[in-house]
Structure 1
Amino acid sequence: MKKPLSPLQSPDDVDQLQPYQIKLMQHQEEPAHQLVQKINQIIANSSATTLMLQEIAQLLGVIFQVDCCCLVPVTSEESTSEATTANWCADEYLGLPHPNEIFSMEQLLMDSPVVQCAAEPLTIEDISIIQNSLVIGCQYLPLPIKAVLAIPTRLGGNNNGVISLIKFQPYDWSESEKQLLKVLESSCAIAFSRVAQAQLIAHQQQYLQKSDQHQSLIKQLTLLSRSNLELNQMLQLVIASTAESLQADRGLLILLKYTDPLFRTRPKKQVPRAKATVHAEWNRATQISGTSKLDTLDESFLLSECGLCQRVFIDSGKPVIIDDYTEQNDTYPAASLFAIEELPAALLMPLESQAKVLGFLVLQQTVARNWQPAELNLVEMVCAQVSNAIIQSQTLRQVQTLVDERTAKLQSSLELQAKLHERTRQYVEQLRKLNELKDEFLSNMSDRLRYPLTNMLMSIRNLRLPGIAPERQVRYLDILEQECTKEINLINDLLTLQKLESHQEAPQLETIDLNNRVKDIAVSFERKLAEKGLRISVELPQEPLTLQTELESFDRILQELLTNVCKYSEHDTLVHLQASHQVDQLIDQVIIKVTNIGRAISEEEATYIFDKFRRGKGRWTPGTGLGLALVKSLVQHLNGAITVESVSISDSQLSEICFTLTLPQFSESKPYSESD
């Protein structure tokens, strides 16, 4: 049994790893689809994404008989989180010490065939992704890497991870190993996608938690501003709540007392004469130790003695952010009470009122900190509240006006936070729906691909039986041909949809006789409709009607609509096919309606009935869900429009469903927009 190299998320995860009792074998002894099934089972049964990647790495390491297997997700950021990187290493290498010198990944990539990719040829993007993944996932391997077989995984056309198989001895990778790794790439891409989704959800949860903390702080400050507490008591509660909420190591509230009689008329960026006094302090170390002694409370200093505070005036009242004060020059010396040696990182936010600096709110850290814009905005709001409280203690008349203004701003901020919270909730709900659509798509496609292949495999095995009769051979060959045709048609439909959506080609127009063409298509479907117990009536203009269109696309549209009618019409009913000509806003148009009797189409179903791989709820008729999507794309390709309408039939549970196709009669007609 192999053991994982990298640590798991919790100690309990070690017991959750399922041992793979797999006998070391050649790859051909275990079909690739069984390995894909095992990986899919791991994805479905694993609740923790790190544990899931660890199990997959262990499975691949055992199957390929390598010394190490590394799975590294590729995210939008430059670096990949260590928490989601999975390494597996063979038992004999787990106890070895790490190498002292750093292994050069660039040299590894240039030394072919040390690094090989299962998806040849290597692109520049593949080389970069593989190099970054090896640096991230293999930097602590016990031995130098001698051979690597790697492949970037792709989902939705984008790289989302790298699978690396590593040997500590020179090794020539076989083509069968490369092919097997290529087969497993799509399943591993799904695993990496789950990791990315889990990271996104965790990020959103962290954001919501921080947002809730900020909202709680704002509410506390609002209550404090409305309370009858003495000013210093309120300031102490404010700095304690703010510093603790923002996880600062120390918080100070410093108020200024000006001694400059000409302060209001002084030139800009001139530092006034003032005395600064600490009115409130919060210290994390004091809270942890349980003591209440605060050394700097009521301590004072002159503004001219502190270059750090002077920067607020020089920078026109803007906040001052110091990542590491020990790396600054001596131009702005700090007062001794700031304890710069112990707390070198600082945020100094001015308390302002009517362009007058009343004091400072100071948050300090023992290590450098990157302040987020939302946190700076929150500190600004706190400072605004404190400034209001200070003005209130000085003059009741002025503070009343300021309180109303700040309260309105606070309400706006709360509403903004609520909107952000709601948008986040909607985004999470959208992700859930997208995940359901993905599962529905995978299930549908796997069924449509699996059943024909199963029938083909059965026919091939029966053809190999000795003494099989010639007529049975012909029957099995017919089955093979039919199922191959189904697979080819499915692939051709997907390629046609892709080509139509990319607008690669303009329609090849020609003039056709609409009456004769509609009659021919209706006649070709009479037998198929009769087998379903259906009859068809055709209503055409009395005068010959020509149409400039692409013949192949026009035929395919009517064929798909009539095929849809065959599937969903009620037994022993009439299908009505009508063609007509009309002029709308000086544009000649051809209107074709296909009407049948069947189960009603709800308003909700009508919104997505023309989407790919979407089918009406409760409709169990076999199909790929591509027919009507192909019809819509072909109609838009011909500059036309198509709609569906469902009208209930009185005294019946059935409805009359009508598909209306509108095409310009001539190529010079104005194309239809998506809104039409």
Structure 2
Amino acid sequence: MKKPLSSPPHYVDDIDRLQSYQVKLMQHQEERARQLVQKINQIIANSSATALMLQEIAQLLGVAFQVDCCCLVSVADETSDEATTTTTNWCADEYLGLPHPEEMFSMEQLLMHSPVLQCAAQPLTIEDISIIQNSLVIGCQSLPLPIKAVLAIPTRFGGNNNGVINLIKFQPYEWSESEKELLKEVESACAIAFSRVAQAQLIAHQEQYVQKSKQHQSLIKQLTVLSRSNLELNQMLQLVIASTAESLQADRGLLISLKYTDPLFRTQAKKQIPKARATVIGEWATEAQNSRTSKPDTLAQSFLISECGLCQRAFMDSGKPVIFDDYTDQNETLTAAPLFAIEELPAVLLVPLESQGKILGFLVLQQSVIRNWQPAELNLVEMVCAQMSNAIIQSQTLRQVQTLVDDRTAKLQSSIELQAKLHEKTRQYVDQLQKLNELKDEFLSNMSDRLRYPLTNMLMSIRNLRLPGIAPERQARYLDILEQECSKEINLINDLLTLQKLESPHEAPLLQSIDLNTRIQDIAASFEKKLAEKGLRISVDLPEDSLKLQTELESFDRILQELLTNACKYSEQDTIVRLEAAHRVDQQIDQVIIKVTNIGRAISEEEATYIFDKFRRGKGRWTPGTGLGLALVKSLVQHLNGAIAVESLPISDSEQSEICFTLTLPQFSDESKP
């Protein structure tokens, strides 16, 4: 008999050694990742300066991965105005002495030389591609050589992208799976570092904002004290210009009064340059500015308005603030008077001192470098000018009535009351402008997001479709993305046009009779799948006898669809969305009451006051949207002569609340028609 076949002893030993080697290799890889993460955490814990922390992490990663360059780029939160992008580069020693190139290796060239860019995170989304490419554009402009190979990974913290790690080679290179796995392991630790950077930036911005607010409040207090003091007018104005220029950190401040050849309050045609002489009655400058200039004191110097194009601009612009980033760029027709020292202080803010349509003088703030004046700062300067205008007029009035001793007390009291009313109106005006500015910022933020993201995705899809050798299934995927994002843009524009149409005078709704029960059931059925995808269920409660309703079908459908869409967005998972309808008679008027109820985050009393306004969204709600849905609902309900209200009822022993939107529509059934 033949003996059974068996493996040679040496073959079995080879297999055992191979398995043992693989186990040791995995253990080594895990130990290497653990040590690298531990070192990153130590850097985060021990670094007080965020810039130095990122530099140390970049050097650590660059050495660990043996790359030519490591680029760390923090991704700014686009929903926040305070956040900024921070970039940190580390290069190997042999590249430190090389000169910087005039142009960076373009992203189009990177994509045309595949595989230049690889991502450790899989699957790779279009958003990931966009973030990585933007990080390369921002962070790699100063690299000494063109990029030939990149291994990148976006970092996420709190569910949002907050940075990108780019490992760069200046020679072609094929990244190994072990390198990709190692980069994945350090991603979370680097995300924490990027979060620290973002927090430090936010804190610094808030401290700066608080400091400016304190300075502005201090200025307002000083002005209030000065306005009530017994100082002579010129002394008070000198203190005002000094306090204002110093508080707003200008290099120089001037206060100029005008003396007209014609009577001061003589009516003049608009945009006409008057015959008047301007005189400097107040001046302030920083110590650095005083040390740089050898010009004599400009106080009490004068010039004709006809000789100064800068002052003429205030009359041509109907008394509005005149702002020049660099006045030296203007042509010869706008030549400024010599005392402005335009060559040394080219950035100019000139605000007229105006009273009853007449310009009494100018407040001028100048700087040696370009300055972007914030709306709040301009509002503050205009308030200061209003107070100084009042002070000048008051002084002139007091001089005119000085001989009328009997009327002096009454006129002084009237002037004080007028000043108090003007101060209150100015404060209300500033508050209103601040609120309007917040609404503008919120509108721009929402609309830019809703317009930019689809356009960005469309642009990336188009670029990817142009890539050579792209597979048919990826072509179909990018075409689907183009169609989806295009539909989003069209729907947004249609919603805006619908709102505009509803807000303008329009014809009465085109009523038709519908079976309310059937219509509600059909709309609810169309939302079952969408709600189920978010772990939600829908419950419909309708009267046994089917209700008839005279309404405009398209508007009625859109109202219910928007309310159910809103419930789908903001409902807590594993809850029920309830849709109810009932008939009610109120003051002999037949009405249909429809309620849409969901469980979610409470709506505060403040939010309830503006929840149906355009482009307004609840505070702290990060679900994507334009803020048009509920505004469109309210306009459509008013179009149907109905009413809508929202109510938020807290649920006991829970952090959630029951949110109920109640829709009331008049029921003009066929039987009720006269």
TM range, normalised to the smaller chain?
0.5 to 0.7
Distance 1:108 1:26, change over 3 A: farther
Q: Distance in 2 between matches of 1:156 and 1:149?
A: 23
Q: Equivalent residue of 1:169, what SS?
A: coil
Residue 532 of structure 1 corresponds to: none
Letter in 2 for 1:230: E
Match of 1:126 among 128, 138, 144: 128
Residue 339 of structure 1 corresponds to: 341
Residue 322 of structure 1 corresponds to: 324
Residue 67 of structure 1 corresponds to: 68
Q: CA deviation at 1:389?
A: 1.9
Q: Distance in 2 between matches of 1:262 and 1:382?
A: 22
* More moved, 344-353 vs 157-166: 157-166
Q: Distance in 2 between matches of 1:102 and 1:43?
A: 34
Q: Distance in 2 between matches of 1:501 and 1:196?
A: 37
Q: Is the 8 A contact 2:383 2:426 kept in 1?
A: no
Q: CA deviation at 1:52?
A: 2.7
Letter in 2 for 1:332: L
Letter in 1 for 2:222: Q
Residue 309 of structure 1 corresponds to: 311
Per-residue displacement from partner, 1:130-159 (whole Å, max 9, x unpaired)?
233223322233443322111122334432
Residue 302 of structure 2 corresponds to: 300
Distance 1:98 1:123, change over 3 A: farther
Q: Equivalent residue of 1:357, what SS?
A: strand
Per-residue displacement from partner, 1:51-84 (whole Å, max 9, x unpaired)?
3322322332232222221111011469999994
Gaps of 5+ in 2: 1-24, 399-407, 439-529, 541-573, 576-581, 584-599, 602-648, 663-674
Q: CA deviation at 1:218?
A: 1.4
Q: Distance in 2 between matches of 1:84 and 1:50?
A: 8
1:542-581 matches, within 5 Å, as none
TM-score, normalised by the number of residues in structure 2: 0.56
Match of 2:417 among 390, 400, 404: 404
Q: Distance in 2 between matches of 1:36 and 1:305?
A: 69
Q: Percent identity?
A: 72
Q: CA deviation at 1:101?
A: 3.2
Q: Distance in 1 between matches of 2:268 and 2:395?
A: 26
1:12-23 matches, within 5 Å, as none
Q: Distance in 1 between matches of 2:195 and 2:312?
A: 51
Q: CA deviation at 1:216?
A: 0.9
Q: Is the 8 A contact 2:76 2:84 kept in 1?
A: no
Letter in 1 for 2:64: I
Match of 2:196 among 179, 194, 202: 194
Per-residue displacement from partner, 1:489-517 (whole Å, max 9, x unpaired)?
xxxxxxxxxx97964664699xxxxxxxx
Q: CA deviation at 1:25?
A: 12
Residue 54 of structure 1 corresponds to: 55
Q: Distance in 2 between matches of 1:254 and 1:310?
A: 13
Per-residue displacement from partner, 1:210-251 (whole Å, max 9, x unpaired)?
010111111112222222222222222211221122121221
Per-residue displacement from partner, 1:176-225 (whole Å, max 9, x unpaired)?
21222223323322322222122112111110100101111111122222
Q: Distance in 1 between matches of 2:149 and 2:210?
A: 45
1:63-102 matches, within 5 Å, as 63-76=64-77, 84-94=86-96, 96-102=97-103
Distance 1:500 1:175, change over 3 A: farther
Q: Equivalent residue of 2:284, what SS?
A: strand
TM-score, normalised by the number of residues in structure 1: 0.56
1:484-499 matches, within 5 Å, as none
Q: Equivalent residue of 1:265, what SS?
A: coil
* More moved, 114-123 vs 62-71: 114-123
Letter in 2 for 1:260: D
Q: Distance in 2 between matches of 1:277 and 1:310?
A: 15
Q: Distance in 1 between matches of 2:113 and 2:102?
A: 19
Q: Is the 8 A contact 1:54 1:86 kept in 2?
A: yes
Q: Distance in 2 between matches of 1:187 and 1:501?
A: 35
Q: CA deviation at 1:314?
A: 2.0
Q: Is the 8 A contact 1:250 1:364 kept in 2?
A: yes
Letter in 2 for 1:193: S
Distance 1:64 1:299, change over 3 A: same
Q: Is the 8 A contact 2:83 2:198 kept in 1?
A: no
Match of 2:254 among 235, 239, 252: 252
1:387-398 matches, within 5 Å, as 387-396=389-398
Q: Distance in 2 between matches of 1:131 and 1:377?
A: 40
Q: Equivalent residue of 2:161, what SS?
A: strand
Q: Is it true that 1:356 corresponds to 2:343 in the alignment?
A: no
Distance 1:262 1:346, change over 3 A: closer
Distance 1:359 1:502, change over 3 A: farther
Residue 276 of structure 1 corresponds to: 278
How many residues get paired? 433
Q: CA deviation at 1:29?
A: 5.5
Per-residue displacement from partner, 1:361-415 (whole Å, max 9, x unpaired)?
0111222211110110111111122112212221236665454344455467779
Q: Distance in 1 between matches of 2:341 and 2:169?
A: 53
Residue 180 of structure 1 corresponds to: 182
Q: CA deviation at 1:31?
A: 5.2
Distance 1:406 1:310, change over 3 A: same
1:390-469 matches, within 5 Å, as 390-396=392-398, 400-408=413-421, 410=423
Q: Distance in 2 between matches of 1:115 and 1:26?
A: 29
Residue 113 of structure 2 corresponds to: 111
Residue 39 of structure 1 corresponds to: 40
Distance 1:367 1:349, change over 3 A: same
Distance 1:219 1:153, change over 3 A: same
Q: Distance in 1 between matches of 2:63 and 2:40?
A: 13
Match of 1:218 among 195, 212, 220: 220
1:522-561 matches, within 5 Å, as none
Residue 521 of structure 1 corresponds to: none
Q: Distance in 1 between matches of 2:43 and 2:313?
A: 58
Q: Is the 8 A contact 2:153 2:165 kept in 1?
A: yes
Residue 151 of structure 1 corresponds to: 153
Distance 1:121 1:35, change over 3 A: same
Per-residue displacement from partner, 1:259-310 (whole Å, max 9, x unpaired)?
1248532222222221111111122257653999843211111122222212
Q: Equivalent residue of 1:331, what SS?
A: helix
Q: Is the 8 A contact 1:388 1:399 kept in 2?
A: no
Q: Equivalent residue of 2:348, what SS?
A: strand
1:502-651 matches, within 5 Å, as 503=534, 506=537, 644=652
Residue 523 of structure 2 corresponds to: none
Q: CA deviation at 1:255?
A: 0.3
Q: Distance in 2 between matches of 1:672 and 1:160?
A: 33
Gaps of 5+ in 1: 1-23, 425-498, 510-555, 558-584, 587-606, 609-640, 646-658, 660-670
